[in-house]
Amino acid sequence: MSDLVTALRARGMRLTAQRRRIVAALGRLGHATPDGVAAEVARDGEAAVAASTIYRGLEALEELGIVAHTHLDRRAPTYHLAGHADHIHLVCVGCGVVDEVPVASASSFVGAIAASRGFRADISHLAVHGRCAGCEGHS
Amino acid sequence: MSDLVTALRARGMRLTAQRRRIVAALGRLGHATPDGVAAEVARDGEAAVAASTIYRGLEALEELGIVAHTHLDRRAPTYHLAGHADHIHLVCVGCGVVDEVPVASASSFVGAIAASRGFRADISHLAVHGRCAGCEGHS
DNA sequence: TTGAATGCAAAAAATTTGCATATTG
DNA sequence: CAATATGCAAATTTTTTGCATTCAA
């Protein structure tokens, strides 16, 4: 039985076709806003899924640690599969480009706050803003 | 002449009473959503400021580097004075508590991505999610 | 069977936009 | 004066809610 099913059942939750499609859509997209997920889910052949179901589904899956979200820009939250979150996002405020670096880059930082505050950081969906090499150059 | 005026003028922008009040409100609040800023601005005696002015004002001030924003929760963005941003937020997904640690905690991380990608990270408004000591304990 | 989940449609929030008017520089 | 900002109100966009119905376990 899949991890997804196991995780859901452990909390008395159910694996519905819609939730499966949401997960599949995120797998295909990588990152997406709730709206984007809805659009992708609609493109998989079956009937469209109600917006409220998308929101509730993402929330449920996030609680289970199946998906996570981050804010790449000021507007909508961006969701992705937690398993796919093996990188940190570097968002350039100059040109909007989003680069990625391994989570290991921040291991010392994570270790420091764990030691000083007992805080266990989940940087699997961390977005760091700043300026990329290009934009920093012709600043 | 204040930095605020200088920064604004350098871009042909103007220092209006409303912008001054927005900055003052943020100074009093520390962190606040656009809505929160509007409420605080309204409490300072003068007439209320239109919501659109709050949004446009925050955007303008952010471009100038006077204020910055971060996302403490999934919903609204949280603004603060850039000068007040001398810390990183640790947001507990378990209980919602927001702790702060000095930006120096992440200096090696910042240095690493600067070296490897030439990316100059601005962690003055970084929010790291995870679980605080308390929530991690009785997990 | 039974409670969790969905669809739908309406309600709330949160932002944005157009434009005439007021203000700053 | 000229160009930038504001106020207002309407239009969008995004997210949430209530409830009858469906469906997974």
Q: What is the pLDDT of residues A30-82, one digit of tens each?
A: 999 999 999 999 998 789 999 999 999 999 999 898 999 988 887 779 999 98
Give the chain A residue nearest B88 (alpha carbons): A113
The pLDDT of residue B74 is above 80: no
Task: Report the pLDDT averaged over residues B37-51.
Answer: 92
CATH number given to B86-136: 3.30.1490.190
Give me the pLDDT at residue B85, please.
67
Asked whether the predicted pLDDT for residue B109 surpasses 60, the reply is yes
For residue B123, the model assigns a pLDDT of: 87
Place A96 in a pLDDT band, splitting at 50, 70 and 90. confident
Of the listed ranges A5-9, A13-17, A117-121, B2-6, the least confidently predicted one is B2-6
CA distance A34 to chain B (A): 12
Q: In this predicted structure, which of A30-39, A124-133, B102-111 has the lowest mean pLDDT?
A: A124-133
Q: Where are the domains of chain A?
A: 2-83, 86-136
Q: Which of B85, B109, B113, B89 is nearest to B99 (CA)?
A: B89
Question: Is B121 within 8 Å of A128 when comparing Cβ atoms?
Answer: yes
Nucleotides of chain C in contact with protein CB (under 7 A) are: 3-10, 14-18, 23-25
- The answer to whether residues A89 and B126 touch, using CB atoms and an 8 Å cutoff, is no
Q: Are strands A127-131 and A87-92 parallel, antiparallel or unpaired?
A: parallel
What mean pLDDT do residues B102-108 have? 92
User: Considering only A20-24, A27-31, B50-54, B83-87, which range has the smallest mean pLDDT?
Assistant: B83-87
Q: Look at residue A1 in the predicted model and tell me its pLDDT.
A: 60
> Taking an 8 Å Cβ-Cβ cutoff, which residues of chain B contact chain A?
69, 71, 74, 77, 90, 92-93, 99, 101, 105-106, 108-109, 112-113, 116-123, 125-126, 128-133, 136
Q: Is residue B32 pLDDT above 70, yes or no?
A: yes
Distance CA A55, CA A109 (A): 32
- Beta carbons of B94 and B130 less than 8 angstroms apart: no
Cα dihedral sign, A89-A93-A97-A99:
negative
Name the burial class of residue A7, with classes exposed (0-12), middle (13-18) and buried (19+) by CB atoms within 10 angstroms of its CB. middle
CB neighbour burial string for B15-40, b if at least 16 within 10 angstroms, e if fewer: beebbebbbebbeebebbbbebbbeb
CB-based burial label for A136 (10 Å; 0-12, 13-18, 19+): middle
User: Dihedral of CA B32/B35/B38/B42: which sign?
Assistant: negative
For tokens 């996302």, name the residue: B71
Listed range (A99-108, B1-10, B101-110) with the worst mean pLDDT: B1-10
**Which of the four pLDDT bands, split at 50, 70 and 90, describes residue A86?**
confident
How far is residue B68's CA from residue B62's CA, in Å, rounded to a whole number? Answer: 5
Query: Which range in A34-43, A94-103, B124-133 is most confidently predicted, on average pLDDT?
Result: A34-43
At residue A137, the pLDDT reads 75
CB < 7 A contacts with chain C (nucleic strand): A 8, 12-14, 16, 18-19, 47-53, 56-57, 60, 74-75; B 5, 8-9, 14-17, 33-35, 51-52, 55-56, 59, 75-77
Give A93 or A107, the one with higher predicted confidence.
A107
Letter string b/e over residues A70-81, b meaning 16 or more CB atoms within 10 A of that residue's CB:
bbbeeeebbbbb
The dotted CATH code for B2-83 is 1.10.10.10
Q: Which residue has the higher pLDDT, A86 or A60?
A: A60
pLDDT of the residue at A32: 95
The answer to whether residues A118 and B133 touch, using CB atoms and an 8 Å cutoff, is yes
CB atoms within 10 A of CB B81: 17
| Residues of A contacting chain B (CB within 8 angstroms) | 69, 71, 74, 77, 90, 92-93, 99, 101, 105-106, 108-109, 112-113, 116-123, 125-126, 128-133, 136
What integer best gives the mean pLDDT of chain B? 90
